[in-house]
A and B are shown apart, each in its own frame.
Chain A
Amino acid sequence: MEALLPHLPRRTWTRRLTLAAVLSSVLLLGGLVYAFVNEALSAALEAATPYVEQGFEVREDNWSGEVTPGKPLLVQHQVFRGNEYWFWAGTSWPGATVRVDVFDSAGNGVALETFAEGPQAGARALPEATGTYNIRVITEYDPESPAAKEVGDIDFEGMVDWGLVYGYR
């Protein structure tokens, strides 16, 4: 099975195998239930929670995947002048951290405010023009961090998960 899934961290595919087994059981019982939980997105959504009370409406659609730590990711997204945006990023890999920044269509940094707290980060922008903005997500992994050491039995195989959500008001 490992040979079939060489590009995924062990924790990810063992989780997926468990998920597949659970789903198979559910299907055998006759119910069509999708029980997938994306933990990186959960971390991003958790970061978004305090802002919902400030009137930000968090979108259901999102971006997520797996990436080599240190390799920057660029998400391109249509924004509208007149709205205020927060982009929140998350990772669930023990020992991984994430940062997020916002750039306009010319590549200028436009985040008015950012935070990066371990596995969660956010960046706020107030677009000066309607158009396509660029959101950069960067993950890092520190095998010596307490979080990584705490789960030392998991072998790091070069990739961490990431998720990105956004809200507007």
Chain B
Amino acid sequence: MAGLTGVVGVLLIPCFAGAAPDSAKVPEKIDLNDFPGEIISKVVVPIPAEVFAVLNKLDEPDWNKAIALPEETSMGRERAVLALTFGSLVGEGFIAVQANNADKIQDIGRQVLTVSEALSLAGAVRPHSLSIIEAAEKRDWTRVRDELDRTQQTVRETMEKLRDEELSNLVSLGGWLRGTHVVAEFISESYSEDKAEILNQPGLIAHFRSVLETIKAPTKTAPTIRVISSGLARLEAIIEEPGIPSEEAVIELRDISRSMLESFYFVTPTAPTAEKPAN
């Protein structure tokens, strides 16, 4: 019997070897310093929802508390600032989805459309904006997330077709910055290494720094771009070391990203003034 089993085994081995799962072909290691092919330069920036998904698994953040819509009147008219604002508004949308806050999502959908009008992209954005509002009414959060991603992608592709790659990259930067700030804010409130690891994104910071380096004047010298440029350099200095950011580093990340957002998105807090006495 043992002999028969051996014969059957020998006969079967080649048959099963041919039908081996594809995963068996995965090599153990590749040499990244000497890759025998083409390294693709395009960087796909993760949407804030990807980061929020991890944070939600580790904590129960109060997403409603984090929603901070900018005043429409405070939005500039400069195209670079509008592109950054657009990206941050989409980021805000992802925060509102985490909060399951349909009213805020609808407000964001309308603001997204307002900014796209200022960017002369309302035609491309309107269908998405309406879908966001409709999906929020139905509390279909997955669809809202998909539509927010689609909105950002449509705007970026439209900008790229109009040979406005600079603006397209600023849309991604605005979204990433808003997402990074809210995550750093939550983690600074209740630090843990597991959560802080989310902020370990040196590749993305380097990408955005190189994006800003390629921006041409006069946009490059605009005050907002200069603030963001110097902010990214400071973020890079904190994150460049491999490993998990410390609690102090997370607080710094929160404050730096906040000051960057204050240059175009949040209203800068003003010094308290003497209260006017009530009549």
Contact = CB atoms under 8 A, between A and B. Distances in A.
Contacts of A63: 40, 42, 44
A19 interface: no
5 contacts: A61-B149, A74-B37, A76-B39, A101-B27, A130-B200
A80 B156 CA distance: 24
A109 B142 contact: no
A82 B51 CA distance: 9
A24 B202 CA distance: 43
Interface of B: 21-23, 25-32, 35-40, 42-47, 49-51, 53-54, 57-58, 123, 142, 145-146, 149-150, 152-153, 156-158, 161, 194, 197-198, 200-204
Interface stretch (A9-17, A65-73, A143-151): A65-73
A139 B45 CA distance: 25
B53 A83 contact: yes
A82 B198 CA distance: 9
Given A60-B150, A80-B51, A83-B54, A107 B197 contact: no
Given A57-B146, A63-B40, A65-B40, A83 B153 contact: no
Contact of A116 (B22, B36, B37, B47): B22
Given A62-B44, A78-B204, A72 B37 contact: yes
Contact of A57 (B37, B45, B142, B201): B142
A105 B184 CA distance: 24
Contacts of A107: 29-32
Q: Identify the 8 closest CB pairs spanning chains A and B, nearest first.
A: A72-B37, A82-B54, A60-B153, A132-B203, A109-B26, A61-B44, A107-B30, A107-B32
Given A72-B37, A73-B38, A136-B30, A78 B149 contact: no
A51 interface: no
A109 B200 contact: no
Contacts of B37: 71-74, 136
Interface on chain A toward B: helix, strand, loop, or mixed SS? strand
Contacts of B38: 67, 71-74
Contacts of A136: 30, 37
A81 B46 CA distance: 13
Interface on chain B toward A: helix, strand, loop, or mixed SS? helix
B249 to A, nearest CB: 14
A82 B35 contact: no
B122 to A, nearest CB: 12
Nearest to B176: A78
A32 interface: yes
B30 A134 contact: yes
Given A74-B32, A113-B23, 11 more contacts: A57-B142, A57-B146, A60-B150, A60-B152, A61-B156, A62-B44, A76-B39, A80-B46, A101-B26, A129-B197, A131-B203
Contact of B203 (A57, A78, A111, A116): A78
Contacts of A130: 197-198, 200-201
A156 interface: no
A82 B46 CA distance: 14
A80 B198 contact: yes
Contacts of A134: 30, 32
A7 interface: no
Given A83-B54, A103-B30, A75 B40 contact: yes
B45 A72 contact: no
Contact of A74 (B27, B39, B157, B200): B39
Contacts of A80: 46, 50-51, 53-54, 198
A61 B45 contact: yes
Given A57-B145, A60-B150, A67-B38, A77 B23 contact: no
Given A61-B45, A71-B37, A73-B37, A131 B26 contact: no
Nearest to A113: B23
Contacts of A113: 23
